[in-house]
Amino acid sequence: MIRGGDKSSSDFRCLAIEMLANATYRGGHEAILSSEQCMVACTGAFCCTHGDVMSIHDACSVLCVAAKREAWGPCLNLNLVMERLGFKLFCLCCTMNESEIIRTQGEELLVTRLFELAWHLRNHRRCEAFDKLRNLDGRKCVLTAAISYLYDKHSKDSRHLRHYREGAFSDLHPSGLDCCLRAMEGMAIHDMYDPKFISRNERIKEAAQDLRSSKTLHNDEKISCEILFVISLHATRRLTGASS
Are 237 and 117 members of one domain? yes
**How much is the pLDDT for 200?**
92
Query: Among the three residues 24, 41, 75, which one is the final residue of a domain in this structure?
Result: 75
Are 170 and 202 members of one domain? yes
- Residue by residue, what is the 3-state secondary structure of 184-218? HHHHHHHHCCCHHHHHHHHHHHHHHHHHHHCCCCC
Q: Which residues contact 139 (CB under 8 A, 6 or more apart)?
A: 87, 90, 91, 94
For the chain, the average pLDDT equals 88
Q: What is the mean pLDDT of residues 198-214?
A: 93
**Are 236 and 192 spatial neighbours (Cβ–Cβ below 8 Å)?**
no
Residue 58 has pLDDT above 60, yes or no: yes
Are 114 and 124 members of one domain? yes
- Which amino acid, one-letter code, is at 187? M
Are 201 and 126 members of one domain? yes
Are 223 and 105 members of one domain? yes
Nearest residue to 193 (alpha-carbon basis) of 156, 239, 144? 239
**How much is the pLDDT for 132?**
95
What region, left, alpha or beta, does residue 70 occupy, with left being phi > 0 and alpha being psi -120 to 50 degrees?
left
d(CA 70, CA 237) in angstroms, rounded, equals 32
**How much is the pLDDT for 236?**
87
**How much is the pLDDT for 244?**
45
d(CA 201, CA 114) in angstroms, rounded, equals 21
State pLDDT tens for residues 67-86: 999 999 999 999 999 999 99
Banded pLDDT at 66 (limits 50, 70, 90): very high
Query: Among the three residues 75, 100, 121, which one is the final residue of a domain in this structure?
Result: 75
60 compared with 97, residue with greater pLDDT: 60
Query: Among the three residues 28, 47, 75, which one is the final residue of a domain in this structure?
Result: 75
What is the total count of domains within the chain?
2
* Domain that residue 181 falls in: 77-243
Residue 156 has pLDDT above 60, yes or no: yes
What pTM, to 2 d.p., does this model score? Answer: 0.91
Half-sphere exposure for 229 (CA within 13 Å, toward CB): 14
Banded pLDDT at 8 (limits 50, 70, 90): very low
Q: What is the mean pLDDT of residues 144-167?
A: 84
Residue 99 has pLDDT above 80, yes or no: no
Are 93 and 63 members of one domain? no
State pLDDT tens for residues 209-219: 999 998 888 88
**How much is the pLDDT for 98?**
64
- Tell me which range, 3-17, 35-49, 159-173, is most confidently predicted by mean pLDDT: 35-49
